Amino acid sequence: MIRLCVLGPSGRMGKAVLEAAQGVTNASGRGDGVTVTAAVDRGEAAGIGGEVAPGVRATTDIGAALDASDVYIDFTTPASTRGAAIAATPRRRAAVIGTTGLSAADDEAIAALAQVAPIVVAANFSVGVNLLLGLVKQAARALPDWDAEVVETHHRMKRDAPSGTALAIARSIAAGRGVDYDAVKRHTRDGDIGPRPAGEIGVSTVRGGDVIGEHVATFFGAAERIEIAHRATSRAIFAAGAVRAAAWVAGKPPGRYDMLDVLGFTP
Ligand code: NAD
């Protein structure tokens, strides 16, 4: 049995991870072989002290929680994710990290953990989006002169923009073309922007309602266009993927892995 520590159990994803780990919504049975032994949340969060899994209460003591687990699953905030990685490094604790909107300093803390422990980091843990990453890369490689645009839509509470998934899709398009994404990206358009530069990769953000996550990559040719889209209708897909990643990563050599490694996909 792999012992899981769930960070942010009161959050949208934290709740979905608890359900997936307990097999409640996980029809594929991916939760088998894992057990939740610890949970960590913010001090003021309602979940502190309450039971989040049979016999498990959320605490603010990340050290004790990591000591009671083999792998932690983190869908929280960038600051919390950095703090957890710093606490996990001396403990060489394996991790599954799904938080998005990370800064360079957050990435550094995660990189330090990856030196001593196996970790899976992904902006999206669904099977469908990870397949889509390969499809857009292939399309971008075949259609180097077509205009590529990504549009992402999420619920009104989402904090970071563009979504980590939209950025991963845009980076796959750049990789398919063998170009540096930062040199060709366009995240905002406003005012007299002139004609679209050749080779630009655009990412646009829409926010509203309770949309769990929609991503559409469009390749515009002359008089034709291709759309490759993914629409999530339940957080259970991300949670099931994260639990599957936790079971996969336990016992692997130290290093940073992604969901393509877990799924065995080659984009
Ligand atoms: P949310 O606001 O519902 O939940 C965040 C949780 O983090 C809350 O429970 C909060 O109490 C907790 N938290 C904050 N500070 C903490 C701390 N110091 N220690 C422990 N817990 C702390 O957000 P959400 O919708 O669940 O999303 C969380 C993150 O996951 C976001 O960055 C989101 O973009 C990302 N996300 C990733 C995927 C993926 O597949 N990779 C999918 C969905 C969401």
Q: Are residues 249 and 151 in the same domain?
A: no
pLDDT at position 27, please? 47
In the predicted model, what is the mean pLDDT of residues 101-106?
97
* Per-residue pLDDT at 31 exceeds 60: no
Task: Tell me the percentage of the chain whose pLDDT exceeds 70.
Answer: 95
How many A from CA of 235 to the centre of ligand 1?
Answer: 12
How many A from CA of 75 to the centre of ligand 1?
Answer: 4
Q: Are residues 205 and 256 in the same domain?
A: no
**Whether the Cβ atoms of residue 202 and residue 150 lie closer than 8 Å to each other:** yes
* Per-residue pLDDT at 233 exceeds 70: yes
How many A from CA of 230 to the centre of ligand 1?
Answer: 21
Which residues form the pocket of ligand 1, taking CB atoms under 6 Å from any ligand atom?
A: 7-8, 10-14, 40-42, 45, 75-77, 80, 83, 98-101, 122-125, 160, 238
Q: Are residues 241 and 227 in the same domain?
A: no
Catalytic option among 137, 158, 215, 230: 158
Atom of ligand 1 nearest to the CA of 160: 34
Q: At what angle do helices 12-21 and 236-249 cross, to 10 degrees?
A: 60
Q: What is the pLDDT of residues 148-202, one digit of tens each?
A: 999 999 999 999 999 999 999 999 999 999 999 999 999 999 999 999 999 999 9
**Whether the Cβ atoms of residue 227 and residue 169 lie closer than 8 Å to each other:** no
For the whole model, what pTM was predicted?
0.91
In the predicted model, what is the mean pLDDT of residues 87-96?
98
Q: Is 137 a catalytic residue?
A: no
Return phi, psi of residue 210, to 5°.
-115, 30
Q: Are residues 176 and 188 in the same domain?
A: yes
Q: Are residues 41 and 96 in the same domain?
A: yes
Q: What is the CATH number of the domain that holds 138?
A: 3.30.360.10
Q: Are residues 204 and 132 in the same domain?
A: yes
Q: Are residues 111 and 10 in the same domain?
A: yes
Q: How many structural domains are present in the chain?
A: 2
Q: Is 158 a catalytic residue?
A: yes
pLDDT at position 32, please? 60
Q: What is the pLDDT of residues 125-140, one digit of tens each?
A: 999 999 999 999 999 9
pLDDT at position 49, please? 72
> Which domain does 90 fall in, by range?
2-121+236-263
Q: Are residues 207 and 224 in the same domain?
A: yes
Q: Are residues 117 and 131 in the same domain?
A: no
Q: Are residues 30 and 45 in the same domain?
A: yes
Taking the alpha carbons at both ends of the chain, their separation in whole angstroms is 31
* Per-residue pLDDT at 144 exceeds 80: yes
What does the mean pLDDT of the chain come to?
93
pLDDT at position 230, please? 98
Atom of ligand 1 nearest to the CA of 9: 9
Pairing of strands 56-59, 2-7: unpaired
How many A from CA of 228 to the centre of ligand 1?
Answer: 27
Instruction: Grade residue 45 by pLDDT with cuts at 50, 70 and 90.
Output: low
Q: What is the CATH number of the domain that holds 15?
A: 3.40.50.720
Q: Are residues 109 and 157 in the same domain?
A: no
Q: Are residues 137 and 111 in the same domain?
A: no
Q: Which residue did the predictor score with more confidence, 47 or 245?
A: 245
Residue nearest to atom 4 of ligand 1 (CA): 11
